[in-house]
Amino acid sequence: MPKVTKKTLNCRGKLVDLRPAAVMGILNLTPDSFYSGSRVITAEQAVVTAERMLAEGATFLDVGGYSTRPGAADISAGEEADRVLPVIEAILDRFPDALLSVDTFRASVARQAVEAGACLVNDVSGGGLDPAMFQTVAELGVPYVLMHMRGTPQTMAQLTQYQDVVTDVIDELQTPLAALRALGQTDIVLDPGFGFAKVPTQNFQLLNHLEAFQVFDEPLLVGLSRKSTIWRTLNITPEEALNGTTVLNTVALLKGASILRVHDVKEAVEAVRLLQQLQPVAAK
């Protein structure tokens, strides 16, 4: 199994060990997320889902109020914050030790979410959609997920031309990563951005060469859960894509993923635990 030297994140003073890999459960506070099973509309529903995911072994819960599926409708920062903040507060009121991530590309939403108790910022745009994001995260002192994407959720499907998708994505991550490090940001997680400005064949290429991203010596987050790469390939629906998700998550773990971002926590945790037994030495 590939190795990364850095395998911890400082989340509000708690050192989170990513050995074995951690699981991040998805809480979509949007009415139009591509997988209906991930949608939670009210704070009460979110607390119930959070309780289940934490019981199943989730290390992080990723709360998002902006749908980033291809072609999703744009919403204002105010509406996004109105969706996210009450849920963060409700979950932490019930589970004060929960580690919450905010899934946003807006610095203002990230700041409000962290002030409400979130301990990690997951930015699908890698800082590309808000020039204030990097400075904001550095000031807040929270871990940051730097994901690769081209364009916006509305335009990314037209931006899939690469000479070599693995090399190009690595090259395009270098500049924002250097900018973050220059600001003193130390806790950085990289995400190749499966499905974001990539077609299924490119997603498979990225997964097959995931080890190449170890060149950055930062933990890797992989988000393949129930995505179209799986269900289009198998000619099924997102609702039928759990088995395919587990298969590809297992490949990602074997290739060095430190965090799996998933809709189905129990199955992902089981994959991590089984691989621990298969490769107990490599997992240490």
CB 198 within 8 A of CB 215: no
- SS3 string of 36-64? HHHECCCHHHHHHHHHHHHHHCCCEEEEE
Q: Is 106 a catalytic site residue?
A: no
Q: Give the pair of three-digit tokens for residue 14.
A: 């708690």
Beta bridge pairs of residue 144: 121, 188
Q: Catalytic one among 39, 150, 227, 255?
A: 227
Phi, psi of 234 (to 5 degrees): -95, 0
Q: How far apart are CA 264 and CA 14, in angstroms?
A: 25
**Residue 24: strand, helix, or coil:** strand
**Residue 104: strand, helix, or coil:** coil
Q: Is 255 a catalytic site residue?
A: no
Tokens 């090399």 belong to residue = 167
Q: How far apart are CA 206 and CA 201, in angstroms?
A: 9
Q: Residue 39's closest CA among 51, 26, 25? A: 26
Q: Is the peptide bond before 20 cis (omega within 30 degrees of 0)?
A: yes
Q: Is the peptide bond before 70 cis (omega within 30 degrees of 0)?
A: no
**Residue 80: strand, helix, or coil:** helix
Q: Catalytic one among 261, 266, 273, 284?
A: 261
CB 260 within 8 A of CB 222: yes
Task: Write the single-letter amino acid at 86.
Answer: P
Pinpoint the alpha helices (H) of 57-141.
77-94, 107-116, 133-140
State the catalytic residues: 227, 261
